[in-house]
Amino acid sequence: MKLAVNILLLLWMLMSVGVQFNDPDGLSWAIIYGYGLVMILMAMAGRYKAPLLLLGIAAYTIGGIVVMPDTFADMMDTNEEARESIGLFISAGCVLILLLQHKLGGDKSMAVEDVVKPLD
């Protein structure tokens, strides 16, 4: 089940990175979505890093709030900020799923001291 979920998350992130080719600031967005892609690949290899997952959730959520427009009207046609905001929130959700997998997988590295210690 976890593998199937991770494959779906992987496909989401691959699509998110892939559709940036015709965007004027596509390289920036490909890097942003690429972070989630790397987190998913690490999870698929069994190498969850809770601090990096928490950083991704926070960054995607804050980014989604920052670029969120006042209105989501005409989202699919003309409101690029709305699409970017929703993409960031979905990406935060993807990384949150990885964090939950990590926690529910019985890995004891979810202790607070392991999350806040410097990265190895």
pLDDT tens-digit readout, 18-74 = 888 888 888 999 999 999 999 999 998 888 889 999 999 999 999 999 988 877 665
Number of domains, the chain: 1
- Domain limits for position 38: 2-116
pLDDT at 96 over 90: yes
Task: Look at residue 113 in the predicted model and tell me its pLDDT.
Answer: 45
User: What torsion do the CA atoms of 79, 80, 81, 87 make, to the nearest 10 degrees?
Assistant: 120
Single out the residue of 3, 5, 24, 26 nearest to residue 16, CA to CA: 26
pTM beyond 0.85: no
Cα-Cα end-to-end distance for the chain: 29
Rounded mean pLDDT, 87-114: 77
